[in-house]
Amino acid sequence: MSETTWDVIVIGAGAVGENVADRAVQGGLSVVLVESELVGGECSYWACMPSKALIRSGLALRAVERLPGAAQAVTGGIDVPALLARRNSFTSNWDDAGQVRWVEKAGIGLERGHARLNGPKQVTVTGKNGTVTTLTARHAVVVCTGSDPQLPNIPGLIDARPWTPREATSVKEVPPSLAIIGGGVVGVEMATAYRDLGAEVTLFARSGLLNGQEEFAGEMVAKALRERAVTIVETSPTRVERTSDGVVIDTSDGSFTASEVLIATGRIARTSDLGLDTVGLTPGDWLSVDDTMLVHDTDWLYAVGDVNHRALLTHQGKYQARAAGDVIAARAKGETVDDSPWGAHVATADHGAVPQVTFSDPEVASVGVMSKDAEKQGIDVQVVDYNLGWVAGASLQADNYEGQARFVIDRERQVIVGATFVGQDVAELLHSATIAIVGEVPLSRLWHAVPSYPTISEVWLRLLEAIGRP
């Protein structure tokens, strides 16, 4: 058994853990990353990157098909082997050698194996071959272990060997048909991708699609998926069974059969085998943190990324990671900590300015407060909508462009607190709204931010006109 001491131990080398480690090293601390699977984590190998690679070709093809002149050049459908090969290149064929090189170059130590806490500032790492290493932290242990898929309690489901997002994003042979349970972002994105890959898709979404978004977003995506012959069933499966004909899914609306079934019903904290009980915490729980990512009632344990349940998105986890890495270094060196709202050492944006894109067709891009939540938060709310199809830049992008935009306004403060864009190619529009919300740019000043003609961004002008000049 070997023993080493570091300033900081980071458990989990996903995108978030890598960023915490990098910032702490840049702050002058010695840091070791512990990883039980692939350096780079879920996002690189089984989530963001492969899923977007699976979706992109279909979006591009349909964009061309909506454009007379270019549409005539489309003489075939998706080349599935070429698409899967491109997906493989985005995951580096599930080989983390490149990311390991980056870790080494960044001056971060790397320990391979499964980490468990063993009391305050103590971590035990068990390697694949059974070797045990004990790590001690001088200043902090940072948990960045991410999340696992949540499997709903449906009779027969586990025995039916369902797919999780990992199997869906790393698929080598596309099944003839796929049933997807869950109408959130992952369910919708995988329905989009697998329909393009040629599978018959049935989506079970008991409360409609994209529940966390403005209602019109889910409705527009559902309409578009139905037009592409995706079956959307708005009821819950009551029983699942794998038979010789495939997986049979029973619901109160009848039975459906598919070659495979994918579970996309949310996430649980990856903390069940982390030794949390040795530091007075409950295994399996999400780790609740303050705005510097310090776990409540501790002065040495941090939790960053999915595992703290603030915003289960890579970009938001990496934002938290920059704050956490910097604050750990500042505290270790006895420097001033800037933990006031929007300070250098806090992740204030998690509370009301989280951007998210669903890469469906149409895309859904949103940030900040949704209209249904604004009143509950005590905001004197004004909601304005505009049909994106009426914007010249959008109609140039595609014939019969269908899209919708919404701003949620705080009337008292005269600022935008929420924005949603639904339509082809709206993802890149989102950051303008994120900046307006984070910067709390007054509506009167936004009138002077002139969008170029003819771009989709002209929807900003149309929405401001709908609000009326302050």
Ligand X SMILES: Cc1cc2nc3c(=O)[nH]c(=O)nc-3n(C[C@H](O)[C@H](O)[C@H](O)COP(=O)(O)OP(=O)(O)OC[C@H]3O[C@@H](n4cnc5c(N)ncnc54)[C@H](O)[C@@H]3O)c2cc1C
Query: Where does this chain bind ligand X (CB under 6 A)?
Result: 11-17, 34-37, 41-43, 47-48, 51-52, 114-115, 144-146, 165, 169, 186, 270, 274, 305-306, 312-315, 317
Which residue number, 99 or 404, has a Cβ lying nearer to ligand X?
99
- Can you tell me the distance from the alpha carbon of 257 to that of 248, in angstroms, rounded to the nearest whole number? 4
Q: Do β-strands 363-368 and 237-243 pair in parallel, antiparallel, or remain unpaired? A: unpaired
State in angstroms the smallest separation of the CB of 303 from ligand X: 9
Which residue number, 247 or 321, has a Cβ lying nearer to ligand X?
321
Query: Tokens 């989102």 appear where?
Result: 430
315 φ, ψ (degrees, to nearest 5): -65, -35
State in angstroms the smallest separation of the CB of 458 from ligand X: 27
Which residue number, 160 or 324, has a Cβ lying nearer to ligand X?
324
Which residue number, 239 or 315, has a Cβ lying nearer to ligand X?
315
State in angstroms the smallest separation of the CB of 188 from ligand X: 11
State in angstroms the smallest separation of the CB of 351 from ligand X: 17
Task: Measure the CA angle with vertex 371, ends 365 and 372; round to 5°.
Answer: 115
Closest listed residue to residue 429, CA positions, set 371, 366, 369:
366
State in angstroms the smallest separation of the CB of 252 from ligand X: 28
Which residue number, 11 or 443, has a Cβ lying nearer to ligand X?
11
Run of H or E including 111:
strand 109-112
Query: Tokens 């080989």 appear where?
Result: 95
Which residue number, 53 or 384, has a Cβ lying nearer to ligand X?
53
Kindly give, in sequence order, each residue whose CB lies less than 8 Å from that of residue 281, ignoring residues fewer than 6 positions away: 287, 295
Run of H or E including 382:
strand 381-387
Answer whether 367's CB lies under 8 Å from 433's CB.
yes
Q: How many CA atoms lie within 13 A of 309 on its CB side?
A: 14
Which residue number, 41 or 393, has a Cβ lying nearer to ligand X?
41
Answer whether 123's CB lies under 8 Å from 131's CB.
no
Which residue number, 41 or 362, has a Cβ lying nearer to ligand X?
41
State in angstroms the smallest separation of the CB of 360 from ligand X: 12
Helix 15-26, helix 314-332: angle, nearest 10: 30
State in angstroms the smallest separation of the CB of 156 from ligand X: 23
C-alpha dihedral sign at 456, 459, 460, 462? positive
3-state SS assignment for residue 348: helix
- The strand pairing partners of 422, in sequence order, are 364, 404
State in angstroms the smallest separation of the CB of 52 from ligand X: 6
